[in-house]
Amino acid sequence: MMGSGKGRSRRSRSDKARGTQAPVLQGSLDWQKWSDFVNSSGLKNVSLYKYYIGKESEQCSDAEHEEMLSELITDAVTVGAVQLPSPYVPEDFVFKLEGKGSMGFRQARIMLRSQPKLILAGNGLQYYYVKRCRTLLHSNTNFVLGRIINGIDALATAAKATP
């Protein structure tokens, strides 16, 4: 049975030493690397929420939803499926579940931990898509990771422009 903390324990085993690399200007997603990680770990049919939180999304608090997003992006970076813009690491970002947006769905806002007042319009994702991530390989998981990267890129650009 998958339980809370599995992402962290698997991350520590699959973390690879990285050499000096050129700065990354914009975030990117390599879905094949994510797919390889999920398949080689035997997680193909595992629910995103069961893996990260230990229960299904309908039973989660806002804090648990936010934690799941943090764990997801951290795993994706650790296994090399996501590159964040330099010099950022996953821990530089936090997620905050907010009220309903213009489409009537709750929003998961992406924020820069060091600049929590830096709020960008449209910088987040409709939580509808997150809750519909049936498994770690579901197409919505790909979409969600892409939206997170877009939000992080926007924050990184805005942070550079902010004195």
Give the model confidence (pLDDT) of 16-40 as tens digits: 434 456 666 688 999 999 999 999 9
CB contact set of 112 (below 8 Å; sequence gap of 6+): 92, 93, 118, 155, 159
- What pLDDT score was predicted for residue 13? 42
Q: Quick one: average pLDDT of 2-25?
A: 50
Please report, for residues 77, 115, 132, the alpha-carbon distance to residue 85 in angstroms, rounded to integers and kept in the order given: 11, 16, 27
- Strands across the sheet with 93-100, in order? 93-100, 106-112, 124-126
21 within a domain of the structure (yes/no): no
Structural domain that includes position 151: 28-161
Number of structural domains (the chain) is 1
10 within a domain of the structure (yes/no): no
Residue 10: pLDDT band (50, 70, 90) is: low
- What pLDDT score was predicted for residue 21? 63
142 within a domain of the structure (yes/no): yes
Residue 4: pLDDT band (50, 70, 90) is: very low
- What pLDDT score was predicted for residue 9? 39
Give residue-wise pLDDT tens across range 80-107: 999 999 899 999 999 998 876 666 677 8
- What pLDDT score was predicted for residue 16? 42
2 within a domain of the structure (yes/no): no
